Every structure is written in C-alpha cells, then in structure tokens.
Amino acid sequence: AQKVTQAQTEISVVEKEDVTLDCVYETRDTTYYLFWYKQPPSGELVFLIRRNSFDEQNEISGRYSWNFQKSTSSFNFTITASQVVDSAVYFCALSEDDTSGTYKYIFGTGTRLKVLA
C-alpha cells in the first residue's frame, strides 16, 4: 500500500538556521515519483520539486536541497539559512506508475515550519 509519513508535525527555528524536513514513503512499485509542495498561509500549494525513483541524485536549488535515499525510503528536504518567508506547511507526496495511469498523489500530513525573526 502507498503511504507517506511526515513525522514532524511542527518545527520552529530562528532565522538563518538550517532546517531539515523528513519524509518517509512506502510503495510496492519500482517506478514512482516523489514531490515536495509548499503551502503558505494563503493556502495555494506551490510545487517545489519532482523526483523519479530511478534518479537518486541529490538536488540543490538556491537555499533548498533534497536528499533522496531509496535504501531508507526517504526524501528529505533541507532549507539552508532559513528566512521568515519560508514559514509555511510543507507537504511530501508520492505518485505511482500504477495500472490505472492516474498518477494521483498520496500526501503526507505535512510539516508546519515557523521561522522566527
């Protein structure tokens, strides 16, 4: 069965600190896709990154970096030198290459990040 676990419900950091958001997933498929989204207070989900199961290369985009490890079924997200504008709820999601071809998302419960000035 598909499942995404974000064990950290809420994290508070002081501005300029680094913070890592954890994501652990479960799937029986060999082909799948992982995503991170940001949901600011305005409510709209903003796409951050997509990873397929065959690409374990870590990625860096500005202050954001992602660590994908199939051995531990984890896809963690690190924000370096956090800023107040990073305050939001962050969701990890899983999509499978199943027979239905839907590619619907299974979301985690989200991690609320509060960056204090």
Partner 1 sequence: DTGVSQDPRHKITKRGQNVTFRCDPISEHNRLYWYRQTLGQGPEFLTYFQNEAQLEKSRLLSNRFSAERPKGSFSTLEIQRTEQGDSAMYLCASSLSGQGYEQFFGPGTRLTVL
DSSP line for 25-74: EE-S-SSEEEEEEEE-TT---EEEEEEETT----EEETTEEEEEEGGGTE
Q: How many residues bind partner 1 (CB under 8 A)?
A: 29
Q: Contact with partner 1 (CB under 8 A): which of 11, 67, 78, 105?
A: 105
Sign of CA dihedral 111, 74, 65, 17: positive
Please identify, among the stretches 21-29, 61-69, 76-84, 91-99, the one whose residues bind partner 1 according to the rule CB under 8 A. Answer: 91-99
Residue 61 CB, shortest distance to partner 1, in Å, is 14
Which position among 11, 13, 24, 33 is part of the footprint of partner 1 (CB under 8 A)?
33
